[in-house]
């Protein structure tokens, strides 16, 4: 169906169909309206984020003050896992594992991409809703179900999955190897399988919507960069998530039906197991075939949000719109052929290591292009420091700091000695953890008025950003040094190595920053939840933005626009266009007579 | 003590926060009671200055980190290829620091410089092929150099020449312990499989293999200075990773396959202990341990032993609950000391014989007590298992 036909054919039915029969359940729970689904994703993501971050604070406390007694451990972890308030070693690994899983998948994949793809794709391309509202609803509820199962796994008797978020077998396959690989791991796998189904439905929906439902005049080269990143992210997801699903299924077979896909020659707990011929390295390949694209699934949407927010708040076009699109595509392509850099020392043929070093370091080029384009966007701008803008600048900053150390980790020779040390933790938390989180915060501050019709308090936003910014660097910058000292990650305590005694002070400092930074997220939570009800009422276009979502009324209506869907006449970045007196020209404003297009 | 410190920090931050809100509120006084929650010129100004301050924070924190923690990083490599690794590392660091300082500087400087004002208009600057080409080509060239150097080093390190004269040693990983097996006189490791694990033959060495007859199994790794050591790694249960940070060496141990890594140690343990940086590091560590000991003794505990440096082999792949304490001491000897040490060790074959001789009488006693049905069934199962295993081996 062409965009035009869609326009004229359906708009009247939409208005009349949906307004009067909304009940509480269809409006707030089993809603098929993309805006409501976006909010559901966001709230679920925030709740999971609270849990994930709280877990990290617990194990950070253990690392700073190893085997010390804290009442809060006993309260939260119970007598079994924290007798007398001392954290046990197996629950430490469980916390690390679930923290990683929750943050990567539930917060930064579903919480970030799910929220903003759902909110912005229809609004910014000029569509009434997603291509399939029903599938969209199913997608959210599967995500919700997977989150519930993941949380349930925290309460099984032997403890939740504790083999690390990468769940490498045989550790994840054998309950004899670690207690968490019993029921806890089964629930983990079930949860992830459902999560993947949810993610695939969402992604297919995003792809189809972007391809088919763009309004008249919205060509691909007039799409805001947000949409480009959501679109490309969805494609990467569709390509790589099924591979993780297959890995999970094969692992389930190995665990429950005695197959030997990933296991071979194992002697554990005093007996030889029957497995023969499988290879854990195969699992690593399958896992990272998703695992690496996954970090781009996380970071690309954040990049899109940041590009959009930076342009708006700089009152300038994003610099190098086409170069940005090219670099998004290049990153997406390269992201699928670099997974082996997680496996340089896995025992795979060193020749493969050479190939993956080559492809991995290539990713630095499109990444550098993006970073320089963002910096140039700020140059001679008229910067409006709304909280969203601060988080966007912060994102560029942490993306650069974290990205640069990728040159070390992506180089097989250098990776030998820093692999699986705290250096890796510092790198990926800055480049995709904190950066994506900043992107998410930026998105929330920027589009809160669109979601809730009210404004977030800006002063609380400023405090939230600056404390978070200082603490993020305070946590992850010193980690580089303890990583370079050779300190392995996933150690419950370092007290068995006098060699690492001089790192303990650094660990205390890191934990202090983490606790302060974690505590100040409460400022955000307060701001978020109180502003939903008591925030200042928003005007239609508070940030004076050019994109279509700000042409919809503040009050949400099903179908987004009360009348006709606006037509698009120009690209999304006509800020401070010298042909116009106002410093922004929305996409739906027709070109003036004789007006020239001033960009490529 | 530390928790008190944390509380103080939190309280101070809360006070700072309160003051900060007050400042932000005060800045609103002049502007026309604007509560739109959109940044005003005043906000832009203040946030711009904080941007600048934050740039200073990043720079100062970096310098502070380098001065305070720079010497924590691993120092002089103790292996031949380690020099190559470290020189590539240093080149990369120079590059990273340069780019980091410049880009962060530009980012926050532009933020400060271009803080918004209602009378200003931004420059409409949408694209420039020249600039785009510049920052695609320069990184490409720099990265090409890094890639080439990296691949050169990688090929040098990872591919062991078959004809080279090397010492073969097996590193054997299990939850949560390392064992080493020396190839003995013939310098060929005997075949092994976990299905052959029995009694003190904990590595499952195939004792029918002639090459296995002179193999030596030890729990402390000794290697000679100046000779290439070729490690063959095995694991009996889950993934482990043999990490020897001072040698810039790491390789995963994978059940079901043999992985390998080779290097030439260049400092004996005694020599490495005497290096000035190590003397300083150890004295610093001992100072910290002494302080901690005072605290421990005051609480009725025992004091910590003073620390002397030893090379270590650590497990660096999550392998279970006690992953954090899976280590083995590594000793680099002079070639003479190494020979002497090795000649004092008994071979596995001798150990097995001795154990069998010692265990025989007790086993007979045990056998006579085996009378319950349950035990008989178990014996039958064990026999069947052993047969199956043997068939599987073939």
> Which chain A residue's Cα is nearest to B23?
A459
Low-confidence ranges of chain A (pLDDT < 70): 1-21
Q: What whole-number distance in Å separates Cα of residue B366 and Cα of residue B207?
A: 25
Q: Considering the domain B167-273+306-349 in this protein, what is its CATH number?
A: 2.60.40.420
Q: List the single residue in A93, A412, A512 with the smallest CB-CB distance to B9.
A: A512
CATH tag for A3-551 (out of 3.40.50.300, 1.25.60.10, 1.20.210.10, 3.40.50.2000): 1.20.210.10
Structural domain boundaries in chain A? 3-551
| CA distance, residue A342 to nearest chain B CA (Å) | 12
Chain A residues in contact with B128 by the CB 8 A cut-off are 319-320
Supply the pLDDT for residue A16: 45
Could you give the dihedral angle defined by the CA atoms of residues B130, B134, B136 and B137, in that order, rounded to the nearest 10 degrees? 120
Supply the pLDDT for residue B374: 55
- Mutate which of B256, B278, B327, B387 to test chain A, going by most A C-beta atoms within 10 A? B256
> In this complex, do B157 and A482 lie within 8 Å of one another by their Cβ atoms?
no
pLDDT tens-digit map of A210-267: 999 999 999 999 999 999 999 999 999 999 999 999 999 999 999 999 999 999 999 9
| CA distance, residue A485 to nearest chain B CA (Å) | 4
In A167-215, which ranges are continuous DSSP H helix? 183-212
pLDDT tens-digit map of A99-130: 999 999 999 999 999 999 999 999 999 999 99
pTM over cut 0.80: yes
- Mutate which of B191, B239, B310 to test chain A, going by most A C-beta atoms within 10 A? B239
> In this complex, do B154 and A276 lie within 8 Å of one another by their Cβ atoms?
no
Supply the pLDDT for residue A17: 46
Q: What whole-number distance in Å separates Cα of residue A514 and Cα of residue A131?
A: 42
- Paired residues of B180 in beta bridges: B171, B218
Q: What whole-number distance in Å separates Cα of residue B318 and Cα of residue B309?
A: 25
Contact B180, B217 (CB under 8 A): yes
Q: B4 falls in which pLDDT band (50, 70, 90)? A: confident
Supply the pLDDT for residue A8: 45
Exposure class string for B315-333: b at 16+ Cβ within 10 A, else e:
bbbbbbbbbbbbbbebbbb
Supply the pLDDT for residue A598: 86
Q: B359 falls in which pLDDT band (50, 70, 90)? A: confident
Supply the pLDDT for residue A3: 42
Q: What whole-number distance in Å separates Cα of residue B188 and Cα of residue B54?
A: 60
Q: Which of B314, B227, B311 is nearest to B272 (CA)?
A: B311
Supply the pLDDT for residue B378: 61
- Mutate which of A375, A391, A431, A600 to test chain B, going by most B C-beta atoms within 10 A? A375
> Which chain B residue's Cα is nearest to A509?
B6
> In this complex, do A499 and B307 lie within 8 Å of one another by their Cβ atoms?
yes
> In this complex, do B284 and A413 lie within 8 Å of one another by their Cβ atoms?
no
Concatenated DSSP letters of A70-112:
-HHHHHHHHHHHSGGGPPPHHHHHHHHHHHHHIIIIIIIIIII
Inter-chain CB pairs, A–B, below 8 Å: 405
Q: B28 falls in which pLDDT band (50, 70, 90)? A: low
Chain A residues in contact with B141 by the CB 8 A cut-off are none
Q: List the single residue in B43, B122, B250 with the smallest CB-CB distance to A385.
A: B43
Contact A281, A343 (CB under 8 A): yes
Q: What whole-number distance in Å separates Cα of residue A422 and Cα of residue A420?
A: 7
Can you read off the two tokens belonging to residue A487? 């300190």
> Which chain B residue's Cα is nearest to A161?
B320
- Residue B341: its H or E element: helix B335-343
> In this complex, do B153 and A413 lie within 8 Å of one another by their Cβ atoms?
yes
Q: What whole-number distance in Å separates Cα of residue A296 and Cα of residue B50?
A: 31
- Mutate which of A181, A311, A414 to test chain B, going by most B C-beta atoms within 10 A? A414
pLDDT tens-digit map of B134-189: 999 999 999 999 999 999 999 999 988 877 889 999 999 999 999 999 998 899 99
Structural domain boundaries in chain B? 40-117, 129-159, 167-273+306-349
pLDDT tens-digit map of B245-303: 999 999 999 999 999 999 999 999 999 999 999 999 999 999 999 999 999 999 888 88
Could you give the dihedral angle defined by the CA atoms of residues B275, B276, B279 and B280, in that order, rounded to the nearest 10 degrees? -150
Can you read off the two tokens belonging to residue A510? 């890191």
Q: List the single residue in B6, B10, B154 with the smallest CB-CB distance to A350.
A: B154
pLDDT tens-digit map of B92-130: 999 999 999 999 999 999 999 999 999 888 999 999 999
> In this complex, do A396 and B131 lie within 8 Å of one another by their Cβ atoms?
no
| CA distance, residue B206 to nearest chain A CA (Å) | 14
Phi and psi at residue B328, to the nearest 5°: -145, 140
Chain A residues in contact with B241 by the CB 8 A cut-off are 345, 419-420
């Amino acid at each position: 169906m062409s965009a035009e036909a869609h326009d004229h054919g359906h708009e009247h039915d939409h208005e009349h169909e949906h307004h009067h029969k909304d009940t509480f359940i269809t409006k707030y729970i089993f809603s098929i309206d993309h805006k409501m689904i976006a909010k559901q994703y966001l709230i679920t993501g925030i709740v999971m984020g609270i849990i994930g971050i709280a877990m990290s604070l617990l194990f950070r406390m253990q690392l700073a003050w190893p085997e010390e007694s804290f009442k809060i451990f006993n309260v939260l972890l119970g007598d079994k896992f924290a007798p007398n308030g001392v954290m046990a070693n197996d629950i430490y690994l469980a916390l690390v594992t679930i923290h990683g899983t929750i943050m990567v998948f539930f917060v930064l994949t579903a919480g970030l991409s799910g929220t903003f793809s759902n909110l912005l794709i229809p609004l910014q391309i000029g569509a009434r809703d997603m291509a399939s509202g029903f599938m969209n609803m199913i997608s959210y509820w599967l995500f919700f179900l997977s989150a519930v199962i993941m949380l349930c796994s925290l309460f099984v008797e032997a403890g939740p999955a504790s083999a690390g978020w990468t769940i490498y077998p045989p550790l994840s396959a054998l309950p004899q190897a670690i207690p968490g690989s019993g029921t806890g791991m089964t629930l983990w796998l079930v949860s992830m399988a459902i999560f993947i189904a949810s993610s695939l439905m969402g992604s297919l929906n995003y792809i189809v919507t972007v391809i088919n439902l763009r309004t008249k005049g919205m060509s691909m080269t007039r799409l805001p960069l947000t949409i480009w990143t959501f679109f490309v992210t969805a494609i990467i997801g569709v390509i790589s998530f099924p591979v993780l699903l297959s890995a999970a299924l094969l692992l389930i077979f190995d665990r429950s039906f005695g197959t030997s896909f990933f296991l071979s020659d194992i002697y554990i707990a005093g007996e030889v197991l029957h497995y023969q011929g499988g290879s854990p390295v195969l699992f690593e390949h399958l896992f990272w075939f998703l695992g690496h694209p996954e970090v781009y699934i996380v970071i690309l949407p954040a990049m899109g949000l940041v590009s959009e927010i930076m342009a708006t708040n700089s009152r300038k076009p994003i610099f190098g719109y086409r170069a940005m699109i090219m670099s998004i595509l290049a990153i997406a392509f390269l992201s699928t052929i670099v997974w082996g850099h997680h496996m340089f020392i896995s025992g795979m043929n060193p020749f493969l290591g050479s190939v993956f070093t080559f492809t991995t370091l290539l990713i630095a080029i499109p990444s550098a292009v993006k970073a320089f384009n963002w910096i140039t966007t700020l140059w001679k701008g008229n910067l409006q420091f709304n909280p969203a803008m601060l988080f966007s600048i912060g994102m560029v900053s942490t993306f650069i700091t974290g990205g640069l150390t990728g040159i070390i980790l992506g180089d097989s020779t250098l990776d030998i000695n820093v692999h699986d040390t705290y250096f890796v933790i510092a790198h990926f938390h800055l480049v995709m953890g904190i950066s994506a989180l900043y992107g998410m915060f930026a998105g929330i501050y920027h589009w809160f008025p669109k979601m809730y019709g009210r404004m977030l308090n800006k002063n609380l936003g400023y405090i939230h950003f600056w404390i978070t910014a200082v603490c993020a660097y305070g946590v992850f910058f010193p980690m580089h040094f303890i990583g370079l000292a050779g300190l392995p990650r996933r150690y419950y305590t370092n007290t068995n190595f006098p060699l690492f005694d001089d790192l303990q002070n650094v660990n205390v400092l890191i934990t202090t920053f983490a606790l302060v930074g974690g505590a100040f997220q409460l400022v955000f939570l307060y701001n978020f939840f109180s502003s939903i009800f008591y925030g200042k009422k928003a005007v239609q276009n508070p940030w004076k933005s050019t994109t279509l979502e700000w042409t919809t009324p503040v009050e949400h209506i099903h179908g987004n626009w009360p009348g006709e869907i606006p037509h698009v006449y120009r690209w999304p970045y006509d800020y401070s266009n010298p042909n116009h007196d106002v410093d922004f020209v929305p996409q739906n404003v027709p070109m003036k007579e004789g007006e020239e297009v001033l960009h490529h | 003590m530390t928790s008190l410190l944390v509380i103080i920090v939190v309280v101070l931050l809360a006070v700072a926060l309160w003051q900060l809100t007050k400042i932000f509120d005060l800045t609103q006084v002049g502007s026309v009671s604007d509560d739109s929650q959109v940044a005003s010129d005043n906000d832009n100004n203040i946030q711009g200055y904080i941007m600048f301050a934050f740039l200073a924070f990043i720079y100062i924190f970096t310098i502070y980190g380098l001065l305070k923690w720079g010497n924590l990083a691993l120092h002089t490599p103790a292996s031949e290829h380690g020099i190559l690794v470290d020189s590539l590392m240093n080149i990369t660091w120079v590059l990273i620091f340069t780019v980091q300082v410049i880009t962060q500087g530009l980012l926050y400087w532009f933020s400060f410089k271009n803080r918004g004002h209602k009378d200003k208009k931004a420059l409409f600057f949408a694209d420039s092929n020249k600039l785009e080409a510049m920052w695609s080509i320069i990184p490409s060239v720099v990265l090409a150099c890094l890639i080439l150097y990296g691949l050169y080093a990688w090929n040098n390190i990872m591919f062991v020449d078959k004809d080279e004269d090397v010492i073969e040693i097996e590193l054997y990983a299990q939850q949560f312990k390392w064992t080493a097996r020396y190839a003995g006189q013939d310098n060929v490791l005997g075949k092994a499989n976990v299905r052959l694990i029995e009694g003190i033959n904990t590595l499952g060495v195939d004792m029918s293999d002639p090459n296995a007859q002179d193999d030596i199994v030890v729990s402390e790794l000794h290697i000679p200075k100046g000779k290439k050591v070729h490690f063959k790694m095995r694991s009996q249960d889950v993934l482990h990773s043999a990490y020897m940070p001072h040698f810039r060496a790491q390789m995963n141990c994978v059940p079901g396959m043999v992985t390998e890594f080779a290097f030439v140690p260049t400092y004996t343990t005694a020599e490495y202990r005497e290096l000035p940086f190590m003397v300083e590091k150890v004295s610093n560590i001992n100072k910290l341990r002494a302080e901690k000991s005072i605290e421990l003794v005051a609480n009725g505990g025992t004091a910590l032993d003073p620390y002397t440096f030893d090379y270590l082999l650590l497990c660096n792949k999550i392998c279970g609950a006690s992953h954090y304490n899976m280590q083995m001491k590594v000793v680099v000897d002079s070639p003479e000391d190494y020979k002497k040490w090795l000649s004092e060790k008994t071979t596995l074959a001798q150990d097995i014989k001795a154990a069998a001789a010692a265990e025989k009488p007790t086993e007979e006693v045990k056998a006579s007590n085996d009378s319950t049905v349950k035990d008989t069934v178990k014996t039958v199962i064990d026999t069947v298992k052993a047969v199956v295993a043997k068939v599987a081996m073939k």
